[in-house]
Amino acid sequence: MPKLKPEQANSDRTRQVVDHIRTLLEKGALHPGDRIPPERELARELKISRASLRTGIGYLVAMGVMKVRHGVGTFIQDGPAEFNKASLGFMSTLHGFQPWQMFEARRIIESSLAALAAERAREEHHVALAEQVAEMFSIADDHVEFLKHDVQFHRTIAIASGNPILAALVETITSAMYEDRLKTVRQATYLRKMAEMHREIYRAIRSHNPTEAKKQMDLHLRVAEEAQKSERVGPASALPAKTSKGRLVAAARN
């Protein structure tokens, strides 16, 4: 049997994790709101490394099937999980979608979602966004964990927009791009820069400024696209020293 290329092996392990969680849901061993088994236990059961397991779980978080509560654990999202819809990732492979096309779609949709969120977001959304920004600053040295909170930040904006159709569209695109983003979103300097950009988006939404929210989201996605194109990152801006989560949330809100 020919040896699999590293990227193919990674993809197969991600699918293995996804299929295992799907089976647990189908058998009723897991239900919406349940905490999944510990990483060590799952990795041993699947005979994969914990790093590979985290990648697979991260993919499920990006799909909206799971949610991460930092310091508590990973949980199945409340509500029905949908595994059987056609994946945009497979469509991309089949039809040759280009990365710039995916980013263009994200900019068009997510910039509008940010503007809508600035008009419609409630206090609970503002709190959730501030907490995600704080988490990004606190774990900028862990690209896998950072990306989970990045995805949750964008998902919260989509929910706050009040338009579930647009939210579903951007969810599909985000899920399809997840594994490619894992390959480029790595360096702490770049991640801190991204955390700062997310904070500016949050501030515009909290200030009920649709024009600024749309502008900041568009800028953020253009920078992310350039990073993926070049597969390198620029120098980080000056950042505050690492501090407690509570102080980081307070800083994000200001």
Model confidence band, residue 159 (pLDDT cutoffs 50, 70, 90): very high
pLDDT at 168: 83
Predicted confidence (pLDDT) at residue 180 exceeds the cutoff of 80:
no
CA 75/CA 13 separation, integer angstroms: 20
CA 53/CA 11 separation, integer angstroms: 11
pTM flag (> 0.75): no
Give 62-86 pLDDT, tens digit per residue.
777 888 887 888 999 874 434 334 4
Cβ burial of 31 (10 Å; 0-12, 13-18, 19+) is exposed
Residues forming a β-bridge with 66: 76
Q: What CATH number matches the domain at 6-76, 1.10.10.10, 3.90.1420.10, 3.60.15.10, 3.40.50.1000? A: 1.10.10.10
pLDDT at 137: 94
Q: What is the mean pLDDT of residues 212-217?
A: 98
Contact 33, 74 (CB under 8 A): no
CA 28/CA 4 separation, integer angstroms: 33
pLDDT at 86: 46
What φ, ψ does residue 69 adopt, rounded to 5°?
Answer: -110, 105
Model confidence band, residue 113 (pLDDT cutoffs 50, 70, 90): very high
Model confidence band, residue 249 (pLDDT cutoffs 50, 70, 90): low
How many CA atoms, within 13 angstroms, populate the side-chain half-sphere of residue 25? 22
Domain ranges of the chain: 6-76, 88-253
25 vs 87, higher pLDDT? 25
Query: Which residues have a Cβ under 8 Å from the Cβ of 185 and sit 6 or more positions away?
Result: 143, 146, 147, 150, 191, 194, 227
CA 114/CA 136 separation, integer angstroms: 19
- Which CATH superfamily includes the segment(s) 88-253? GntR ligand-binding domain-like (1.20.120.530)
Model confidence band, residue 171 (pLDDT cutoffs 50, 70, 90): confident
Residues forming a β-bridge with 73: 69
3-state secondary structure of 75: strand
pLDDT at 91: 59
Can you list the positions of beta strands (E) in 83-185? none
Distances (CA, A) of 86 to 80, 169, 192: 16, 13, 34
pLDDT at 89: 60
Query: Which residues have a Cβ under 8 Å from the Cβ of 156 and sit 6 or more positions away?
Result: 125, 128, 129, 132
| Structure tokens, 68 | 């991460």
Predicted confidence (pLDDT) at residue 246 exceeds the cutoff of 70:
no
Model confidence band, residue 221 (pLDDT cutoffs 50, 70, 90): very high
